[in-house]
Amino acid sequence: MRIALAGSGTLGAALLTALLDSQHEVVALLRNGRIATPFQRFVLPRLAGMFAPRSSLLGMGRSAKIPTLYIDAMDEQELAPLRRLEPDLILVGGFSVILKPPLLELPSIGCVNCHSSLLPKHRGPNPFSAAVLAGDTESGVTFHIMTEGIDSGDILMQKAFPLDETDTGGSVYKKASGIAGALVLDMLDAIERDGLCGTPQDESAATYDKRLRKKQLRLDWTRPAQELDRLVRACMPFSVARFDHLGRTVYVSRTSWDDEPAEAPPGTVVHATYPVRVATGRGHLVIKAAHTPNAFAWLWPRLYKNFRTGERLG
């Protein structure tokens, strides 16, 4: 098949790697056309292609001499170069632009999205962090037919993988990307064999997860320690959980937790030396890696500053 790939990051690179090592032809890479300046459109991609790692999406695209097209308005003028390439299928993976009907209807077969969750659970742009934050014991990859709805089309193929209490948003993304790359050719074979037909999603089980807002990144010490640990892990490495102390914001990147009854009010430091142990609404959060912003990132707490048991954190 002639395939146009709309992708980004590790997921897009995993899909492209599999496609380049197959009988399918990648006729174009689609990029976010909201990047408007001439420098960003024409100069930056060339510089990125020259200096990007060979295993990245840009690096592989440059090496394979695949044309890059920018998609935004999706009017006929913008889509004409893609139409001339006559793609059979548009494959999407980690693309930040919602496809409009003119683009959905352009390929002869249709459009397929690779979503990093077990749909219909965790639709939207934040499936990796959402799975960790929800305490899910598994996540997965779903290939589905694209419609005008967000991640709502019929399911073509799915594969699950387990999660544990060490997973972060980043590790879930990495696992999903690896499975997507291993599964995509089987999915394309199924389309060639059976056509573009899938199983409708169960709308009653659907959930949608937005990206975490800044206020959601703050540690609420009244919550159970297990939930706070999930928030820290869910954020990494896309953002960082945080709290306030002595007029500074402290960014927390690694924690553990226990369920021992807290005898102090939530937010109270019960162990002041490394690793700092803080009472929560249920149990204790153990802070193993944190820093405060400055000209340089300073480790928190600093070794040379007095830090006392019984202090309250914001």
Burial of 290: CB neighbours in 10 Å, binned 0-12, 13-18, 19+: buried
pLDDT the model gives residue 44: 55
Which of 198-202, 271-275, 310-314 has the largest mean confidence?
Answer: 198-202
- Domain residue limits at 112: 2-205
In a domain, 65, yes or no: yes
pLDDT at position 32: 84
CA angle 141, 144, 147 (to 5 degrees): 140
Phi, psi of 104 (to 5 degrees): -60, -35
Q: How many structural domains compose the chain?
A: 2
More confident residue, 230 or 298: 230
At 263-294, the pLDDT tens digits run: 999 999 999 888 999 999 999 999 999 998 86
Q: What gap in Å lies between CA 5 and CA 30, rounded to an integer?
A: 6
Q: 254 and 155, same structural domain? A: no
Mean pLDDT score, 122-137: 96
Write the DSSP string, 151-202.
S-SPEEEEEEEE--TT--HHHHHHHHHHHHHHHHHHHHHHHHHH-S--B---
pLDDT per residue as tens digits for the range 30-72:
988 765 456 555 665 565 555 566 667 888 888 899 999 989 8
Is residue 269 within 8 Å of residue 286, measured between CB atoms? Answer: no
Burial of 223 (0-12, 13-18, 19+ CB in 10 A): middle
- 54 with 137, same domain: the answer is yes
Q: Which residues pair with 248 in a beta bridge?
A: 245
End-to-end Cα separation, the chain, in angstroms = 57
Distance of alpha carbon 290 from alpha carbon 41, whole angstroms? 38
Q: Output the pLDDT for position 47.
A: 59
Domain boundary among 205, 223, 247: 205
177 in the same domain as 126: yes
Among the three residues 174, 205, 236, which one is the final residue of a domain in this structure? Answer: 205
pLDDT per residue as tens digits for the range 73-92: 899 999 999 999 999 999 99
Average confidence (pLDDT) over 176-184? 98
Which CATH number characterizes residue 124's domain?
Answer: 3.40.50.170
Each as own residue / partner, the long-range contacts of residues 170-174 (CB below 8 Å, 24 or more positions apart, any chain) are 170/128, 170/236, 170/237, 170/238, 172/116, 172/127, 172/128, 172/129, 172/131, 172/132, 172/139, 173/9, 173/10, 173/11, 173/116, 173/128, 174/10
CATH label of the domain that carries residue 239: 3.10.25.10
Q: Tell how strand 2-7 and strand 25-32 pair up.
A: parallel
Range with lowest mean pLDDT among 94-103, 121-130, 160-169, 296-305 = 296-305
Answer whether residue 228 is part of any domain: yes
Higher pLDDT, 233 or 42: 233
Average pLDDT across the chain, whole number:
91
CB-CB contact of 249 with 296 (8 Å): no
pLDDT at 306: 64
Same domain, 82 and 172: yes
Element (H, E) at 276: strand 276-279
- pLDDT for 99: 94
Q: pTM to 2 decimals?
A: 0.91
